Amino acid sequence: MSLSRQILLLVTGLLLVTVLALTLFITHIYKQAYQQELHRHTQGLHLLLAETLTDKVINGKQIETEQLLKQEQQTEPEIAYLYLTDFNGRLFAHTFQEGFPLSLLDTLRYPDGEDNFLHFHTSSFTIEHFSAPLISGLPAHLYIGISNKQLQDNLQALYQQVLIASVFIFVLGVILTIITVKRISNPLKQLTNLVKRFGQGKPIASDEVPLTGSKELNLLGKSFTAMMAERQNLQIQIQSRQQFLDKLFDTSPVGLALCEMDGTLVKVNSAFARIIGYTKDEVLGLTYWQITPKCYMDQEQVQLDALRQHSRYGPYEKEYLHKDGYRVPIRLSGLLIEEEGQQYIWSSVEDISAFRKANELERRLRHIFQYSYEELYLFDGESLRFIQVSQGALNNLGYSLQEMQQLTPLDLKTDYTLSAYTHMLKPLRQGKVPILIFETRHRRKDGSFYPVDVRLQYSQNCEQTLFFAMIVDLTERKRLEKQLAEHRDHLEQLVASRTAQLQAANTELESFSYSVSHDLRSPLRAIDGFSLALIEDYSDQLDETALDYLNRVRQGAQRMSALIDDLLQLSRINKAALNWQNIDLSQLAKHIISELQATEPDRHITFIIGQNLTVKGDEKLLRIMLENLLSNAWKFTSKKTDALITFDRMGDRPEVFYIADNGAGFDMRYADKLFGAFQRLHQTSEFPGTGVGLATVQRIILRHGGKIWTEAEIDQGAAFFFTLVAQAGQTEPQQEADSKEVQHG
C-alpha cells in the first residue's frame, strides 16, 4: 500500500474517532447541562409549590391542592406527575400525565432520603424524580416527576445536527486530507521516481527536482538536489579517474593483458597489441594459446600450477607468435585476480627483443675486442683507465690486458699533458661534436713510437661514462704517402713535359689544318667547276653513265669542301677567344628555324621553343651549336609527316636544356661514338653529313664548362641534353681552362 493511501486511511480513522468523540462529548455536556438546569428548575418549582401548598395541607384543602397541582402541570407540560403526602405520610393530592403507570406511585412515596433525585425509565417515560419535605423534618413530602422527553427530543435534534456537522467536518477533513496528502505525496512520488532513476544512473535535470510545498519537502528536494550534484561530481571524478587509469593502461610502455582462465583475452593495451603485431580489436578475437608456440606448453603448465598455488606466476621468458609469422621474445609475469566470482589472469608483458639484441651486440663486441687485430680501446670517462683493449692493440703495444687496465691514454700519448688532453675531450663531453679525429703517436711498452689516427667517441648513461677509441696504425700509410709524394713529383715533371709537347703538336696541327684546307680548296673548286662545265656544255655528247660519273665527281668535291669547312670551323672553336655576354637562346633558335624553313618551304613541321632560355656565353659559338643540333633534328625528321622538334629546359632541373625530335633515332649501344669526329650512325645516302657537327657541338659546350649527353630509340626520335655551367656564374678563365683540360685529356 502506498504512503499516500496509508496517510489517507490514518487521517480518515482519526477524523472518525475525533468526530465520534466530539459528538459524545457534546451530547454529554448538553445532557449534563440540561439535567443541571432541570434540577434547578425542579428545586425552584418545589420551593414555589411548598410555599403555596403547605397551608393547604395543614388546612386539609385537598381539592384546591389537586386543582393547583393540575394547573401547575398544565402550565408546565414536562411535569409527569406531582405527588403530595400529608404530615402523616398519606397521599394528600396528586396529578400525572396520561399513561403514566400508577403502580409506580407506591414506589415513589417512600424515597431513600430527603431532597433526593431519582432517574428511571419506563417503556414510555424517562423521569427525573425529585422528592423533598414541605417542611423540613416533617413527613409531608412533595414528589415531582419531570419527563425527559424534551431532553430526548433535544438530544435527538442535537444528534442530527451534530451528525450533519460531523459528516460535513469528516468530508471536509477527508477532502483537505486528500489535498494535503497529494501536496505531500506528489512531490514524494516525484522524488521517489527521481531516486529510482538516480539509482539506475540515468541523467536528471536540476529543474526536475520538486522544490515547492512544505518546508520539509522543500528541504528534502534541496537535499536531493545537493546529493545529486554531489553524485554527479563524484561520477565526473570517477569518470575522470577512470579515463586517467584507462590512459595509463593504454599508454603503458609495458604490455598489459587480462584473460580468462581458459586463455580468452578480455582486455589488452596498445603495447601488448604492438608486441604481437595486431590491433587491439583483433587481439580480443584471439586466445592466449593462439599466440603461444606449442613448444612452450610444458613451461606454461608449470606457470599455471604456480598461479593456482600462489596466485601469481613468473617472471619467466618465452616467445609470442607475431601476426607476420615470426617469433617475439618476451618476459612476462602475472597475478590471479577475482571479479564478481569470476577468476582472471592479469599479465604484464615486456618485449625483450632489444634486450636480447643488446646482449648479442655486447657478446659480439666482446668477441671483437678479444679477437680483432684492429686497435680498439674502451676507457672510463672519469678515471680514464682502460677497461677493454682489443687483441690487435695488445699485440702492437706489447702489453697484457691486465697491464693495460692499469694505464690511461696519457701513458700511450706522451705528447699530451693531462690538462691538454682533458681540454681536447671537452667538446665530446659537451656534445658539441659526435666524434673527435686527430693524429698523434703511441708509445709501445719497449719505448718505441708509431704514428696513429685516432677516432674518439663519447657515451654517457646513468651508470657510467665511457670513451671508445678506434686507432689506425699509420706506419704503413706514412710510408706509402712518402712514396706517393715522390711519384707525384715525377708525374708533375712528366706532365709538364708532355704538355709542352702537346702544345707544340697542337700548334703544328693547326698550321697543317690551315695549310691543307687552303691547298685543297683550289683543286676542289677546279674539279667541281670543270665537271659542271662538261655537264652544261657537252651533256648532249655524253651518255647517261658519263653524266652520272660527272655528278658523282661534283658531289664528292662538294662533300670534300664541306668537310674542309667543318674542319676549319672545329679548329677555330678551339683557337678563338670567348666573348662572354648574355644570350637569349630562344631567339637564336627561332632565327635558325626560319633559315631552315626557307631552305625547304614545302615541309610541314611543328616547333616548340621554350621562352626566356637565357644563358651567358659566346653568341657566335652558341649559334653554331644550335645550328648543328637543330639541323640534325631537321634532317633526321625529314621522313616524318608529323615531325615535331622541341627546344626547352627541364622543369625539375632548369639548368639542363634539351633539343628533342621524333625522327629516325638511333641505337643507344653506339651512343659513345656520336661525339667523335667523322663518326656517323647512318648512311650518307640516307641522311647526308660529314660526321663533324656533333664533335663541334661537344667542343663548344665543353668550352662553356658544360656537358652533353643523349637519349634515343630507333624510329622514335632522339633527345640531346646539355648544360652550360657559365650561366651559374663560373668565371671565364676557369671555364676556358676546364675546357682545354677536357679537350686535351
Cell 676556358 locates to 736
In this prediction, residue 686 carries a pLDDT of 55
In DSSP terms, 95 is beta-bridged to 82
Check whether residue 478 and residue 467 sit in a common domain.
Answer: no
* Residue 390, domain extent: 356-473
Residues 6 or more apart whose Cβ sits within 8 Å of residue 501: none
Residues 639, 506, single domain; the answer is: no
Query: Cell triple for residue 535?
Result: 655537264
Query: Which H, E and C letters describe 11-65, residue by residue?
Result: HHHHHHHHHHHHHHHHHHHHHHHHHHHHHHHHHHHHHHHHHHHHHHHHHCCHHHH
Same domain? 515 vs 413: no
| Residue 24 located in a structural domain | yes
Nearest to 127 by CA among 103, 142, 144, 111: 144
In a domain, 188, yes or no: no
Nearest to 470 by CA among 374, 381, 543, 392: 374
Peptide bond preceding 315: is omega within 30 degrees of 0, i.e. cis? yes
Residues in the chain: 745
Q: Please name the residues in contact with 269: beta carbons below 8 A apart, sequence gap of 6 or more.
A: 249, 250, 251, 252, 255, 256, 257, 280
Report yes or no: 718 and 682 within 8 Å, Cβ to Cβ.
no
Asked which of 329, 351, 373 is the last residue of a domain, the reply is 351
User: What are the contacts of 453-459 at 24+ separation with CB within 8 A?
Assistant: 456/425, 456/428, 457/428, 458/381, 458/425, 458/428, 458/429
Alpha-carbon gap, residue 122 to 245, rounded angstroms:
96
- CA angle (553, 554, 560) in 5-degree steps: 90
The span from the CA of 621 to the CA of 553, in Å, is 33
What is the predicted pLDDT for the residue at 660? 92
DSSP states along 633-669: HHHHTTT-TT-EEEEEE-SS-TTEEEEEE-S----GG
Q: How far is residue 197's CA from residue 199's CA, in Å, rounded to a whole number?
A: 5
Q: What is the CATH number of the domain that holds 666?
A: 3.30.565.10
Contacts of 173 (CB under 8 A, 6+ apart): 11, 12, 15
* Domain finish residue from 139, 160, 181: 160
Q: Classify 296 as helix, strand or coil.
A: helix
Domain boundary among 160, 177, 194: 160
- Pick from 715, 668, 696: which is nearest to 565 by CA? 696
Look up the CATH number of the domain holding residue 534.
Answer: 1.10.287
Query: Cell for 141?
Result: 413530602
Burial 572-610 (b: 16+ CB within 10 A, else e): bbbeeebeeeebebeebbeebbeebeeeeeeeebebebe
Same domain, 583 and 716: yes
Instruction: Write the CB contacts of 177 (distance below 8 Å, at least 6 apart in sequence).
Output: 7, 8, 11, 12, 15
Domain match, 304 and 286 both: yes
Q: How far apart are CA 301 and CA 339, in angstroms?
A: 23
Are residues 462 and 584 part of one domain? no
Please state, in angstroms and rounded to a whole number, the distance separating the CA atoms of residues 179 and 169.
Answer: 15
Q: Is residue 172 part of a domain?
A: no
In-domain check, residue 183: no
The answer to whether position 606 is within a domain reads yes
Find how far residue 121's CA is from the centre of its chain.
103
52 and 154 inside one domain: yes
Report the CATH number that the domain containing residue 322 is assigned in CATH: 3.30.450.20
**141 and 217 part of one domain:** no
Q: Are residues 286 and 364 in the same domain?
A: no
Q: Residue 632 burial (CB < 10 Å; 0-12/13-18/19+)?
A: buried
Can you give the pLDDT at residue 496? 83
Q: Are 76 and 145 in contact (CB under 8 A)?
A: no
Q: Is residue 196 part of a domain?
A: no
Give the alpha-carbon dihedral of 704, 707, 711, 716, to 10 degrees: 10
Domain count, the chain: 6
Pair 594, 668 in one domain: yes
Query: For residue 104, is it within any domain?
Result: yes
Answer yes or no: do 567 and 667 share one domain. Answer: no
485 domain-assigned = yes
Consecutive 10-residue averages of pLDDT for the chain (745 residues) = 68 78 80 78 81 81 84 80 81 78 61 55 68 75 77 73 79 79 71 71 64 64 74 82 85 90 90 91 88 91 91 92 92 90 91 83 75 84 91 91 93 92 92 92 94 91 84 89 88 83 65 62 72 80 82 72 64 68 91 87 88 88 86 84 90 88 81 64 53 78 87 87 65 38 31
Q: Determine the residue type at 439.
A: E
Same domain, 139 and 150: yes
633 close to 663: Cβ distance less than 8 angstroms: yes
